[in-house]
């Protein structure tokens, strides 16, 4: 499971998620990553804690480890279903997280009403995409399109446009542009970009950031106003035209 970047600040608002895992490291990593992605997150280490937390403040989605110290995740799902019966607004969506990848376990989880089943180790960005897909189905949530001046980026459709015209970018260029636009108006350093876009599995030269910024400029800054700016000695910032 890849780790997220160091520079994290919890985002306010967003859907409520409950992370249930008895491994403190996994639980804390998931909570930090999901807060950074814009969700409100609470956590629990046992099935009993999960049921209590869901009773006190019903979440929009539960990320649930199957193997818990007091009861398995399948039993937790049954108790959660009792909290929110079908006639009372629908059951809380559940995404199973587990190291058990037996087909029988997946069938059991899905037959109990789980919405998805992810096997450890998993990629954090893929996990966030699956969470958003479940929330779209169950709450109607649509992640907003990011706008900076004439530039627009649709995270779900993986689409970039400038003044309504499509801009073709590679997956890495898309991640880099997404990160810049999420932080529009704020200068981000090369180290922050490496952590967020390339993760900790990158062991090469940090100048790769300069290279990909150059690639992006050739695609999204081919006309005025220029949107991507260098702040010498600090990093990069994307901002719309000044009034």
Domain boundaries, the chain: 16-139, 146-238
Q: Model confidence over 142-167: pLDDT tens digits?
A: 556 788 888 988 887 788 999 888 99
CA distance 243 to 239: 12
CA distance 176 to 136: 25
Count Cβ atoms below 10 Å from residue 166 Cβ, excluding itself: 9
Q: What is the pTM of this model?
A: 0.54
Whether residue 30 contacts residue 21, with contact meaning beta carbons closer than 8 Å, is answered with yes
Largest separation between any pair of C-alpha atoms in the chain: 61
Q: 123: pLDDT confidence band, cut at 50, 70 and 90?
A: confident
Q: Model confidence over 4-13: pLDDT tens digits?
A: 333 333 333 4
| 146-238 CATH pick, 1.10.10.10, 3.40.50.300, 1.10.10.60, 3.20.20.60 | 1.10.10.10
Could you tell me the CATH superfamily of domain 16-139? Response regulator (3.40.50.2300)
């Amino acid at each position: 499971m890849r780790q997220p970047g160091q520079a994290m600040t919890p985002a306010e608002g967003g859907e409520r998620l409950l992370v249930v895992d008895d491994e403190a490291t996994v639980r804390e990593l998931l909570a930090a990553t999901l807060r950074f992605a814009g969700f409100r997150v609470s956590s629990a280490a046992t099935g009993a804690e999960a049921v209590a937390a869901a009773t006190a403040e019903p979440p929009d989605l539960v990320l649930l480890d199957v193997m818990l110290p007091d009861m398995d995740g399948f039993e937790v799902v049954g108790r959660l279903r009792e909290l929110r019966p079908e006639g009372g607004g629908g059951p809380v969506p559940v995404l199973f997280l587990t190291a058990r990848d037996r087909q029988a376990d997946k069938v059991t989880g899905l037959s109990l009403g789980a919405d998805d089943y992810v096997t450890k180790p998993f990629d954090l960005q893929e996990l966030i995409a699956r969470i958003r897909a479940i929330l779209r189905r169950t709450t109607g949530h649509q992640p907003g399109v990011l706008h900076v001046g004439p530039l627009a980026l649709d995270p779900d459709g993986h689409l970039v446009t400038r003044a309504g015209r499509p801009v073709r970018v590679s997956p890495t260029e898309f991640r880099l542009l997404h990160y810049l636009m999420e932080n529009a108006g704020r200068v981000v350093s090369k180290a922050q970009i490496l952590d967020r876009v390339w993760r900790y599995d990158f062991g090469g030269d940090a100048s790769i950031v300069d290279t990909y910024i150059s690639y992006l400029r050739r695609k999204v800054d081919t006309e005025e106003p220029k949107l991507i700016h260098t702040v010498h000695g600090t990093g990069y910032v994307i901002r719309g035209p000044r009034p």
